[in-house]
Amino acid sequence: MQKELTKIIVLLSSSKVGEKITVNGWVRTKRESKNVAFIALNDGSTIKNIQIVADKEIISEDILVKINTGAAISVKGELVESKGTEQSVEVIAETIIVLGEANPDEYPLQPKRHSLEFLREKAHLRFRTNTFGAITRIRHAMIFAVHKFFNDKGFYNIHTPIITGSDAEGAGEMFHISVFNPENMPLNEDGSVNYAEDFFGKETNLTVSGQLEGELAALAMSNVYTFGPTFRAENSNTSRHLAEFWMIEPEMAFYDINDNMDLAEEMLKYLVKYALDNCADDLQFLEKRLIDEEKSKPQNQRSEMALIEKLNFVLENDFVRTTYTEAIKILKNSKPNKKKKFNFIIEEWGADLQSEHERYLVEKHFKKPVILTDYPKDIKAFYMKQNDDGKTVRAMDILFPGIGEIIGGSQREERYDYLLKRMREMNIPEKEMWWYLETRKFGTVVHSGYGLGFERMMLFVTGMGNIRDVIPFPRTPKNAEF
């Protein structure tokens, strides 16, 4: 069966005009006149549908009544140049088999625009919409491009563990893994849970980052990257946070923070260019969708650039590189800070930046992507290289328009004594992290890395506004339905 099928993307390239073909797919719409029915069919291979022309003298009425939106059909016929103006080719059906019916009284998707909220409740079917078809294809292209970028540079892909005993970010926002029955946990004499009896003989969690293990690999393989699922039990119900998301984490020996920034900027531009070069139809569709959506917004909330223009803008401009300290000065003097328009008013050096501040810097002040470096050590993780000022660390966050932080990274603390001292100050259990510390004893070198939140990148590339719409099955607080 499979061997005879032609994907719609191939049919539309017109190379098979005049041939007998078989195409399978799902019906998007059906229009009927007295003598013919026109069926728009989609198989996921492209945003475009192929038009099937069903002459009522050839395709019987009892077949045609079953051809409703959502039904799966198999069409045999001839690919011809279309007489219509909407499409260049169409299929003159000779036989149609209804593979799977979709009762129009029950099928929830109509051939009209549904709200994204509605489609989140129908995540099992939303792949069948133009928007989610486009996002799914772009997501695939971006995954492929990530691997291609690093492979072409001689990086090795490392699978780091999903179940770990360590909290890499030290933020404590972890999902615990246990085989204990929660109603009957083995306890120690002092009433605490006796994890020694648990499956791994210790407390374990779902990983929040593959970085620490990535560092181990980099300190032998030179350049590595991970691309895996990460899990955070932070209760932030925002349009930019997921409890389960995918992160790309390169880790490079002999890279300082400047090399790290160069690589990150090059990678982001590579991914944007890959999307522009390979996903043009889908991007055009999403751009048009966004423009339509924005028409309902007040003028001052509309974005200044259309999607493709915005992607090109990022490609063509150097990212601004400046320090956290500079950013604080800018923010303190900014209008929204003085007029108390920010939800979090910036009072003094040391404050953590919220997404509203990051977006102000990018969208209003610099009007370009920004890389901020040298953050206060107290708002960053224990593993970052300490600067000589004793106050800051060699962190780098990349901030993007519409998103805020898209990348977080740093040069790593490679000096054993400094690392140990910092771990003690921050209550990082050094006994459990003995293996991490040992790399600083044996052949330690300057090294750096960063993490790109894959769904944040997807938000940027697709122009979508909510992270729940760029991953097929989002995991967020109180939501793990599909």
- Where does this chain bind ligand 4AD (CB under 6 A)? 168-169, 209, 211, 232, 241-242, 245, 247, 249, 405-409, 449-451, 453, 455-456
Choose the contact partner of 371 out of Mg ion, ligand 4AD, none; CB within 5 to 8 A by kind.
Answer: none
Q: Which entry of Mg ion, ligand 4AD, none binds 327, CB below 5 to 8 A by partner kind?
A: none
Q: How far is the CB of 261 from Mg ion (least distance, A)?
A: 15
For ligand 4AD, the closer CB: 218 or 328: 218
- Residue 168, binding choice from Mg ion, ligand 4AD, none, Cβ under 5 to 8 Å by partner class: ligand 4AD
Q: How many residues bind Mg ion (CB under 5 A)?
A: 1
- Assess contact for 43 and 8: CB atoms under 8 A: yes
CB under 5 to 8 A by kind: which of Mg ion, ligand 4AD, none does 96 bind? Answer: none
Chain residue at closest Cβ approach to Mg ion: 408
Q: How far apart are the C-alpha atoms of 26 and 52, rounded to whole Å?
A: 12
Which residue from 448, 461, 460 is spatially nearest to 373, judged by alpha carbons? 448
Residue 256 contact, options ligand 4AD, Mg ion, none, Cβ 5-8 Å cut-off depending on partner type? none
Q: Per CB under 5 A, does 463 bind Mg ion?
A: no
Q: Which residue has the tokens 């060699």?
A: 394
Which CB atom, from 108 or from 402, has the smaller least distance to ligand 4AD? 402
The entry of ligand 4AD, Mg ion, none that residue 242 binds, CB within 5 to 8 Å by partner kind? ligand 4AD
CB of 102 to ligand 4AD, least distance (A): 34
Nearest approach, Cβ of 382 to Mg ion (angstroms)?
14
Contacts of 292 (CB under 8 A, 6+ apart): none
Minimum CB distance to ligand 4AD smaller for 171 or for 280: 171
C-beta closer to ligand 4AD: residue 30 or 232: 232
Closest approach of Cβ 227 to Mg ion, in Å?
Answer: 18
Q: Which does 232 bind (CB under 5 to 8 A by kind): Mg ion, ligand 4AD, none?
A: ligand 4AD
Nearer residue to ligand 4AD within complex by CB, 174 or 242: 242
**Beta carbon of residue 450, minimum distance to ligand 4AD (angstroms, whole number):** 5
Specify the residue, 204 or 211, whose C-beta has the smaller distance to Mg ion.
Answer: 211
Residue whose CB is less far from Mg ion, 30 or 357 = 357
Least separation in angstroms between residue 460's CB and ligand 4AD is: 10
Instruction: Measure the CA–CA gap between 210 and 226, rounded to whole angstroms.
Output: 7
Instruction: Please identify, using beta-carbon distances, which residue of 54 and 470 lies nearer to ligand 4AD.
Output: 470
Distant-in-sequence contacts of 307-313, Cβ < 8 A, 24+ apart: 307/283, 307/462, 307/463, 308/276, 308/283, 308/284, 310/401, 310/463, 311/272, 311/275, 311/276, 311/283, 311/461, 312/276
> Of 108, 100, 79, 109, whose CA–CA distance to 13 is shortest?
79
Q: Which two tokens stand for residue 424?
A: 């003690």
Residue partners of 195: CB distance under 8 A and separation at least 6:
178, 201, 202, 203
Q: Which of Mg ion, ligand 4AD, none interacts with 385 (beta carbon under 5 to 8 A by kind)?
A: none
Establish if 408 lies at the interface with Mg ion (CB under 5 A): yes
Distance CA 245, CA 406 (A): 13
366: left (phi over 0), alpha (psi -120 to 50) or beta: alpha
Q: Which does 456 bind (CB under 5 to 8 A by kind): Mg ion, ligand 4AD, none?
A: ligand 4AD
In the complex, what is the shortest distance from the CB of residue 408 to Mg ion, in angstroms, rounded to a whole number?
A: 3
Site string for Mg ion, 18-57 (x = CB under 5 A): ----------------------------------------
Quick one: what does residue 359 bind among ligand 4AD, Mg ion, none, with the CB cut-off 5 to 8 Å set by partner type?
A: none
259 interface partner picked from Mg ion, ligand 4AD, none, CB below 5 to 8 A per type: none
Our CB check for Mg ion shows the closer of 214 and 408 to be 408
Q: Does the protein bind Mg ion through residue 409 (CB under 5 A)?
A: no
453 is a contact residue toward Mg ion (CB under 5 A): no
Starting at the edge strand found earlier in the chain, the sheet holding 156-157 runs 156-157, 223-231, 244-253, 447-453, 404-411, 392-400, 370-376, 320-323
In 3D, which of 407, 396, 404, 386 has the Cα closest to residue 451? Answer: 407
- Distance CA(175)–CA(178), nearest Å, equals 10
Nearer to Mg ion, 240 or 440 (CB): 240
Closer Cβ to ligand 4AD, 285 or 454, answer by number? 454
Q: Which residues bind Mg ion (CB under 5 A)?
A: 408
